[in-house]
Amino acid sequence: MDFDLSEEQRLLKESIDGLLTDSYDFDARKKYQKEKGGWSKAVWGKLAEQGLLGLPFAEADGGFGAGAVETMIVMEALGKALVLEPYLATVVIGGGFLRHGGSAEQKAAHIPGIIDGSKTFAFAQLEKNSRYDLADVSTTAKKGSGWVIDGEKFVVLNGENADTLIVTARTKGGRQDKTGIGVFLVPASAKGVTRKGYPTQDGLHAADITFTGVEVGADAPIGDPENGLALIERVVDEARTAMCAEAVGAMDESLKSTVEYLKTRKQFGVAIGTFQTLQHRAADMFVALEQARSMSMFATMAADFDSAKERATAVAAAKVQIGKSGKFIGQQSIQLHGGIGMTQEAKIGHYFKRLTMIENTFGDTDYHLRRVTDAGGLV
CA distance 46 to 188: 24
* pLDDT at res. 89: 98
* pLDDT at res. 354: 97
* Residues near 11 by beta carbon (within 8 Å), at least 6 away in sequence: none
* pLDDT at res. 2: 56
Q: Which domains does the chain have, with CATH numbers?
A: 7-119 (1.10.540.10), 122-226 (2.40.110.10), 230-374 (1.20.140.10)
Per DSSP, the residues of 302-348 read GGG-S-HHHHHHHHHHHHHHHHHHHHHHHHHHHHHHGGGGGSTTSHH
AA identity, residue 56: P
CA nearest neighbour of 162 among 108, 211, 217, 124: 124
* pLDDT at res. 219: 96
CA nearest neighbour of 161 among 231, 224, 261, 84: 84
Residue 260 vs residues 23, 270, 271, 349: alpha-carbon distances, Å: 22, 14, 10, 15
AA identity, residue 150: D
Q: Please give the biggest Cα pair distance in the chain.
A: 77
CA distance 94 to 373: 30
CA distance 204 to 202: 6
* pLDDT at res. 378: 81
CA distance 379 to 375: 10
DSSP letter at 373 equals H
Angle at the Cα of 256 (from 250 to 261), degrees rounded to 5?
125
Could you list the pLDDT tens digit for every one of the 379 residues in the chain? 556 788 999 999 999 999 999 989 999 999 999 998 999 999 999 999 999 999 999 999 999 999 999 999 999 999 999 999 999 999 999 999 999 999 999 999 999 999 999 999 999 999 999 999 999 999 999 998 999 999 999 999 999 999 999 999 999 999 999 999 999 999 999 999 999 999 999 999 999 999 999 999 999 999 999 999 999 999 999 999 999 999 999 999 999 999 999 999 888 888 887 889 999 999 999 999 999 999 999 999 998 888 889 999 999 999 999 999 999 999 999 999 988 888 888 999 999 999 999 999 999 999 999 999 999 988 6
Q: Are strands 164-170 and 121-124 parallel, antiparallel or unpaired?
A: parallel
Q: Which residues pair with 152 in a beta bridge?
A: 210
Strand extents, DSSP E, 171-271: 181-187, 193-199, 205-216, 266-267, 270-271
Which DSSP helix (H) or strand (E) runs through 153? strand 147-157
